[in-house]
Chain A
Amino acid sequence: MTGSITNREKFLNQISSQLGRQPITGKVERPVWRFQPQKEVLKNASQDELLTILKDQCLNIHTSLYITDKNNLSAVLKNEIEAYGGSVLAGKDNRFKEWGLDFLLNSEIEFEEWDYTQGRENILRAERAGIGLVVSELTLAESGTIVLYADKDKGRMVSFLPENLIALIPKSSLVPRMTQAAEQMRSEHLKGNQVSSCVQFITGPSNSADIELNLVVGVHGPVRATYIVINDL
């Protein structure tokens, strides 16, 4: 369905007339920028180096980090879930099975999947859940940021309403910084794949410094966050 556009012409004509020219009718090409410093950051870093940077950055963003491999992932995740306590909510994601996380799927623990056919019931589930479990699609080493693309099986609120957040991070998802995520999002768009209705860049738990600049961790979103990096994925 196409949306409406109201009052546009007059509004834009006012702009072009203030700029002292006719409205632009052709295409404006983006200039070749004179400066592109963002491409220099961690330019030649290896995946191992990026992992070290991520590890250090986690200290700044109040986030626990575990590094494991596929074989031990189940044990590490289970431990962390038990430490946090409460039920787990996750998106519907085939990777859990591929990665041998059967304990999630065979009712060993209280585990629910986002199910769009249930509509708003998902929000209530997310409210009740103790832990939101997500898989980072891209991971920005510099800032310690996970990237999530919402879709029908991966609701926006999985990462948000539960009090604790656990993110599984395949090591191969590490990139230097937001620059690479932006480039990837743009190139997908240019290929004709439309961007997700909601792309979340999440860096640790939610926080605020609005009261006397004192940092309070855990305001509207998760109060605690854990990243689990999977070395051989």
Chain B
Amino acid sequence: MPMKIGSNDFKDRVEEGINDSFMRKAVAGAQERMGSRRQDAADQLGNWEDWRSHGEEIRQHVLEHLDYYLKELSDNIASRGGHVFFAQTPAEANEYIKNVVESKGAKKVVKSKSMVTEEINLNSYLEEAGCEVTETDLGEYILQVDDHDPPSHIVVPALHKNKEQIRDVFTEKLGYQKTEKPEELAAHARAVLRQKFLEADIGITGCNFAVAETGSFCLVTNEGNADLVTALPKTQITVMGMERIVPTFVELEVLVSLLTRSAVGQKLTSYITVLTGPREQNEADGPEEFHLVIVDNGRSNILGSEFQSILQCIRCGACINACPVYRHIGGHSYGSIYSGPIGAVLTPLLGGYEENKELPYASTLCGACTEVCPVKIPLHGLLLKHREQIVEKEGKAPISEKLAMKAFGLGAASPFLYKLGTKMAPTAMNPFVSGNTISKGPGPLKAWTEIREFPAPHKERFRDWFKNREKDGDA
């Protein structure tokens, strides 16, 4: 799917999100678990602020010298026998990939999770060219089987679906006959996908980080699907956003540590695989041919602008897990494959203000996102910059200027978001129901007042806020 998902306007999407009580409960639970796991993983190190500062300095250095490192990377890949294609637009990237696929007479493609290939809408391009494209990350596979339901979280794409829904989808589309137990669902997917891996002609992956000095790149998963995608098919195509690069293995290791702790609270995920070029002579597995496609798609326009720091992003999703607005409206409300604070900043930059001008308002500017970001992107500051630019361009704010004022404690609340608050009230009660009684419930507008009275930036540390909020029982 392209970066943009769905066609409803922002208000409709938000309303849909708020009325989906399973989704809201799932999101709230996920945020709590992932948020506290992240916090524990950060606390274990004892000097997390130094880690963040190191992550930031690495990313900043790379962005300032990006042309140099991309040149070094491409030279080193070519010297190991890989092919590198620089694509300024999605069309260029898709065309190149299609040509590779066609030149192999390939029909079967397996993919591991990649946001950039979603961004350029590669799957439908290849499907139109007559290929069967199979997503192999379990979450992505579930969405694909369910008629390409869009992802709602960059790390846990099918977060909005419950196991019963997944069982029903598998039953209808795959002839699945067992129960809704996650183990049984996963075992079924394993069996179906194992066959797909073995039959595939082409493997397509994203790229967590490329390493300039050696022409390597790294894939980070828990399932290990990327290992199969890169070991079994004869041809491998890796697609990377042009900024996802580090100078050497030494920096790679630091960013991988920041990524796994921030994304899922793990010291390292189960599989971290560093690949360099195609297979060597006499190796019996790994691709015979390797292509790296480096995609710009609007990123270079961000360089040198006041938004440059957004390119430091390592796609961990920590900001999403910390965001009180995401908690209330869910991932689909953002209308983009990139949701949460990162999406609210990045989507308007890559997709333009015209279709995304409400997104920078999907924030209370509480600063929780900025505080958890492992590479110190000033996310809520960037959201504010967006608002300034939109107001400058449009002459008025697309939602209500008063909201922005209110977020800083200066004025009355937005009527639109106030209405959201009242709409939210009935569904917001669900998490507090135990048995048939409401044991501890917020007032009808508690969810809304929580947003409105969210602490101003930096008044309260996020970890304190997070703990207090759980005690207060807010959903």
Contact = CB atoms under 8 A, between A and B. Distances in A.
B365 interface: no
B78 A14 contact: no
A149 B230 CA distance: 15
Contact of A24 (B68, B223, B224, B266): B68
B54 A122 contact: no
A20 B271 contact: no
Contacts of A11: 70, 86-88, 242, 294, 296
B194 interface: yes
Contact of B284 (A127, A152, A206): A152
A8 B284 contact: no
B296 A14 contact: yes
Contacts of B30: 213
A182 B249 contact: yes
Interface size class of A (residues with CB under 8 A): 35 or more
A19 B303 contact: yes
Interface in A156-206: 156-157, 160, 177-179, 181-183, 185-186, 189, 194-206
A107 interface: no
B282 A116 contact: yes
A196 B276 contact: yes
B443 interface: no
A197 B271 contact: no
A37 B47 contact: yes
Contact of A12 (B71, B183, B222, B231): B71
A44 interface: no
Interface in A201-233: 201-214, 216, 218-221
A116 B283 contact: yes
A38 B261 CA distance: 13
Interface stretch (B133-141, B330-338, B343-351, B412-420): B133-141
A152 B186 CA distance: 32
A178 B280 contact: no
B18 to A, nearest CB: 20
Nearest to B162: A212
Interface string A16-55: 1011100110001011011111101100000000000000
Contacts of B21: none
Nearest to B159: A213
B284 A186 contact: no
Contacts of A206: 222-224, 270-271
A57 interface: yes
Contacts of A195: 214, 216, 274, 276
A184 B327 CA distance: 43
Nearest to B293: A6
Nearest to A13: B67
B389 interface: no
Contacts of B50: 35, 37
Nearest to A1: B81
Interface string A61-94: 1000000000000000000000000000000000
A7 B85 contact: yes
A87 B247 CA distance: 43
B213 interface: yes
Interface string B98-127: 000000000000000000000000000000
A145 interface: yes
**Most interface-central of B68, B159, B284 (chain A CB within 10 A):** B284
A196 B189 CA distance: 31
A210 B250 contact: no
Contact of B273 (A10, A57, A200, A216): A200
**Most interface-central of A24, A114, A115 (chain B CB within 10 A):** A24
Given A11-B296, A155-B285, A203 B142 contact: no
**Most interface-central of B69, B190, B242 (chain A CB within 10 A):** B190
Interface in A95-133: 114-116, 118-120, 122-123, 127
Interface string B49-80: 01101100110010011111111001101111
Contact of A213 (B33, B66, B92): B33
B83 A200 contact: no
B136 A182 contact: no
B138 A198 contact: no
B131 interface: no
B278 interface: yes
Given A182-B249, A213-B33, A34 B227 contact: no
A211 B186 contact: yes
B475 to A, nearest CB: 16
Given A7-B85, A8-B71, A210-B137, A19 B64 contact: yes
B86 A7 contact: yes
Contacts of B175: none
Nearest to B193: A220
A37 B166 CA distance: 42
Contacts of A120: 284
Contacts of A142: 267
Given A15-B66, A15-B300, A207-B222, A219 B283 contact: no
A152 B283 contact: yes
B268 A140 contact: yes
Interface string B201-233: 000000000000110100000111101101110
Given A15-B70, A30-B247, A212-B26, A3 B80 contact: yes
The 5 closest A-B pairs by CB, nearest first: A210-B139, A221-B224, A182-B253, A11-B86, A35-B54
Interface of B: 26, 29-30, 33-34, 45, 47, 50-51, 53-54, 57-58, 61, 64-71, 74-75, 77-88, 92, 96, 136-139, 142, 156-159, 162-163, 166, 182-183, 185-187, 189-190, 193-194, 197-198, 213-214, 216, 222-225, 227-228, 230-232, 242, 247-254, 256-257, 264, 266-286, 290, 294, 296, 300-301, 303-304
Given A11-B87, A220-B224, A220-B228, 11 more contacts: A3-B83, A11-B242, A24-B67, A30-B61, A114-B284, A177-B257, A179-B250, A183-B250, A197-B278, A211-B166, A220-B225
22 contacts: A8-B84, A11-B88, A16-B67, A19-B67, A28-B68, A35-B53, A114-B284, A123-B284, A151-B283, A152-B280, A152-B282, A186-B249, A197-B278, A197-B283, A199-B273, A203-B266, A206-B270, A211-B158, A211-B185, A213-B26, A220-B197, A221-B223
Interface of A: 1-8, 10-16, 18-20, 23-24, 28, 30-31, 33-38, 40-41, 57, 61, 114-116, 118-120, 122-123, 127, 140, 142-145, 150-152, 155-157, 160, 177-179, 181-183, 185-186, 189, 194-214, 216, 218-221
